[in-house]
Amino acid sequence: MSRIRRIVTAARGIVRYTWTWIQPVPDSDFWSRPPDLPNRHDAYAYAWPRSFLLVGLVAPRLPPDARILEIGCNVGRNLEALRLAGYRDLTGVEISRDALDAHRTYYPDSRARLVQADVTRDPLDLPPADLVFSMAVLMHIPPASEEVVFRKMATLARRWIISIEDESPEHASLLRYYPRRYDAVWPSLGFEQVEERSCADVPGLGAEYVARVFRRGAG
């Protein structure tokens, strides 16, 4: 192949790849079948350091028989990390069928219950959990849907909520990013913050992310 033809082929590939990322599709359609490589389930299956952060927040607070629900679990790596830490009652909700189908390929010993649902639209017909958590998920829920999603999570959370989300206002201009302060969100729904931690040192997250632990208030 001539040099010019190679350059044209490479340029076409870059344009096509960029278009898959920026094309104007509704957020739910994008996440149902993400066309870009960084958001395919392969990319999430081995991102263990961020799961270790989660386990470090959960283990001091919840016993192994606690019921735990993850919103936006993707391939379910966080659920597997919790299973390896001794937790048995694990449920994940996720919009992407492909990601859920890959769960037992990656983690054959998992017994996690997986539910395909769009949390912005579908009712979450699940029993309440001791802990409801999300990691890098609520930051992709658009403002028009935030109230309904937060209320569903607050209703399902018997005692604990953990948010590990991008809160950087500078990222508000990015496509499909809706950063917000979760220390304002969960207290307005009856939870008090008991821990806050920067994720600057966590590979796969970074300084824009804040991990926050909330406990249901007495009222």
Residues in contact with ligand SAM by CB under 6 A are 28, 31, 44, 47, 50, 72-74, 77, 93-96, 99, 118-120, 135-137, 140
**Cβ of residue 219: shortest distance to ligand SAM, in angstroms?**
29
66/114 with CB nearer ligand SAM: 114
92/137 Cα distance (integer angstroms): 12
Q: Give yes or no for a contact between 122 and 94, defined as CB atoms under 8 angstroms apart.
A: no
**Cβ of residue 208: shortest distance to ligand SAM, in angstroms?**
13
Distance of CA 185 to the CA centre of its chain: 17
66/134 with CB nearer ligand SAM: 134
DSSP string for residues in 74-123: TT-HHHHHHHHTT--EEEEEES-HHHHHTHHHH-TT---EEEE--TTTS-
Minimal CB distance to ligand SAM: which residue? 72
Q: Give yes or no for a contact between 156 and 132, defined as CB atoms under 8 angstroms apart.
A: yes
**Cβ of residue 212: shortest distance to ligand SAM, in angstroms?**
15
146/192 with CB nearer ligand SAM: 146
62/135 with CB nearer ligand SAM: 135
Question: Based on C-alpha coordinates, what's the Rg of the chain?
Answer: 18
64/71 Cα distance (integer angstroms): 19
91/120 with CB nearer ligand SAM: 120
**Cβ of residue 195: shortest distance to ligand SAM, in angstroms?**
18
Within 134-204, residue ranges assigned H as helices are 143-156, 182-185
**Cβ of residue 173: shortest distance to ligand SAM, in angstroms?**
18
